Amino acid sequence: MSGTADLLVEPERLAAELDRADPPVLLDVRWRLAGPPGRDDHSAGHLPGAVFVDLDTELCGPPGAAGRHPLPDPAALQAALRAAGVRSGHPVVVYDGGDGMSAARAWWTLRWAGHRAVRVLHGGFPAWTAAGLPVDATVPEPAPGDVTVTPGALPVLDAARAARLAAADSGVLLDVRAAPRYRGETEPVDPVAGHVPGAVNLPAPAYVSQGRFPAAEALRARFAEAGVDPDAPVGAYCGSGVTAAQAVLALHLAGRPDAALYVGSWSEWVADPDRPVATGDAAGR
């Protein structure tokens, strides 16, 4: 079972760690679905020494039939992480603009790539500045890292596995998009509205608020209400695997390190017109 201290770090604790002789590597992964790019935020001010890494182009592969944020090419990811100064076995802290979504996807990607020593700054950049901690606009020049990307360290669902989990008598596939998108009443991003048949809706605000998570006991209770059995498989999806990565982080905090991410998510599911689509409130099992 993963502990909170292995997954999240509070601003004051991180500030103390940055004063050490060999501090953690900081990755600024601020991102917005509709732009503008987070690099502009980084240029305006960032945690001292933080290197900007782009979610769209460096932590994910090109959009296409595999979804809007598919898995990255391992060699390309390794090059990006080494350029950012990530070293094998050395601690990394990722942060975003405060909603916790892109930081969670960065956390998940590094963990999937075999780098276990990675945490999320709890509350992101706003929590850092609210604590009165310093911000720097200097462009960092990190020494090249030596991290080796070894894919597959966290479980991944493809469309076929997601369908089987959603239809299973035991286990649950969580759809963490807003309820109107799940029901098929609206779809602001992808070309088809609805959900994977059998998936259970648990919108993100049920387990995270402004990038901050409740205690593990509360998380376990909320996931249990959605049908998550501690002894049965669980996976999560959203529009493109970003918000769902945050759900996987929440599941880790709740003691479910086996939780699987459907990386392609709804954007991959609807790329194949032969895949079934459900609408309405019921999971349809």
Residue range 161-181: mean pLDDT, rounded: 96
Does residue 1 register a pLDDT over 60?
A: no
How many angstroms separate the Cα of 32 from the Cα of each of 6, 39, 98, 243? 26, 11, 11, 12
Domain extent at residue 118: 4-130
Is the same domain home to 41 and 100? yes
Do residues 174 and 234 touch, judged by C-beta distance below 8 A? yes
Residues with a catalytic annotation lie at 238
117-132 pLDDT per residue, tens: 999 999 999 999 999 9
So what's the pLDDT on residue 246? 98
Answer whether residue 52 is part of any domain.
Answer: yes
92 and 192 together in one domain: no
The neighbouring-strand residues paired with 67 are 64
Cβ count within 10 A of residue 258: 12
Number of domains within the chain: 2
pLDDT tens readout for residues 81-99 = 999 999 999 999 999 999 9
DSSP-assigned letters across all residues of 182-216: HHTS--SSSSS-SB-TT-EE--GGGT-BTTB---H
SS3 of residue 39 by DSSP: helix
Assess whether 212 and 126 both reside in one domain: no
Report the CATH number that the domain containing residue 59 is assigned in CATH: 3.40.250.10
Q: Which residue has the tokens 């080796």?
A: 148
Distance CA 112, CA 245 (A): 11
Average pLDDT over residues 142-147: 97
What CA–CA distance (Å, rounded) separates 152 from 172? 21
